[in-house]
Structure 1
């Protein structure tokens, strides 16, 4: 396993299975979709497997995710504790958006406001996030969840690194949008260029 930064070259050329992780608001879905477009990989938003209307859970979500992971190529967000190990075992590259906590929370607030005014991406299952004013009354408000899950997601990635059970896995750690942009312009773009015939 290799843990590398925004300027380190990607080994092995174009990855065929890639996931993006980070806390809510880090930009996982946006980046995973962007990577899939650039690489021509299938992409399915993880929450579309999980969420049904009224914030209920789809009963077949685990089977559906595992079926998707059986494909030879894909991009996805690194989520779902019950399927995370199977996903990790299939990965070539895990992009870790290890943004500062306040940065991720600020992005979550901005995203919530955009969604409330109809300028954001619809949420899976037709669900709607609560307005910012419910922050004080809703214990599961997405802004609170972003703050709470930041250290949790970091610990999960660090556990994968410490256990070192996936020797072929490359983890790209990116902190802040400047590092994301630098990685996309540099190592990622070079890996795509090297893979072209």
Structure 2
């Protein structure tokens, strides 16, 4: 597993960003796309259909974008993870502290709800009181899954030796990583 001090074995062309909800993976994926001049695909936009139902075309869409020569996306949704790991050459793992991710998820969820912000395909955050009644509410889901990637990412070094895995633990690590990409060092 690499850190920001370690040089990458190649210039990234197919990048997945892994992280718990609230870790900043979508934001970092966009930053990586800008730094490397690569197209970015947001997985939530592909996955969520109207009324939060999974889109039937989801895996076909993942298959299509991930077969391209260059791309950046998040590493999420169990049905897509293997395909993305198989095709990516670089994984950036945001292994951010739980208090940080949970604070971000709460802030993001409350802000989106108060602004009545439309997310993907007409979907909006659920009313805030449903955190108490809906076991799948984003805040409860984020808490329940916060450590999942600590089980999923480390084994990739053995099962996917082609995949350079860079572990970032804080925002300053991500900033340093982007600076290296901008400078053409990584």
TM-score (norm 1): 0.87
Aligned to 2:20, the other structure's residue is in SS state coil
Matched, 1:179 2:173: yes
Q: Deviations over 1:88-138 (max 9, x none)?
A: 111111000001112111110111122123397x42222111243322122
Provide the residue aligned with 2:56 in structure 1. 59
Considering Cα pairs closer than 8 Å and 6+ residues apart, tell me whether 1 or 2 has the greater RCO: 1
The alpha-carbon deviation at position 166 of structure 1 amounts to: 1.8
8 A Cα contact 2:35 2:178, kept in partner: no
Aligned to 1:57, the other structure's residue is in SS state coil
8 A Cα contact 1:23 1:153, kept in partner: yes
Distance 2:130 2:137 in 1: 7
Of 129-138 and 68-77, more deviation after overlay is shown by 129-138
Provide the residue aligned with 1:166 in structure 2. 160
The alpha-carbon deviation at position 81 of structure 1 amounts to: 1.4
Q: Which runs of 4+ in 1 moved over 4 A?
A: none
Q: List gaps (5 residues or longer) in structure 1.
A: none
Matched, 1:26 2:23: yes
Aligned residues: 186
8 A Cα contact 1:10 1:188, kept in partner: no
Superposition CA RMSD, Å: 1.8
Q: List gaps (5 residues or longer) in structure 2.
A: none
Aligned match for 1:188, one of 174, 181, 186: 181
Q: 1:41-56 maps to which residues of 2 (within 5 A)?
A: 41-56=38-53
Aligned match for 1:10, one of 8, 11, 30: 8
Aligned to 1:116, the other structure's residue is in SS state helix
The alpha-carbon deviation at position 79 of structure 1 amounts to: 1.3
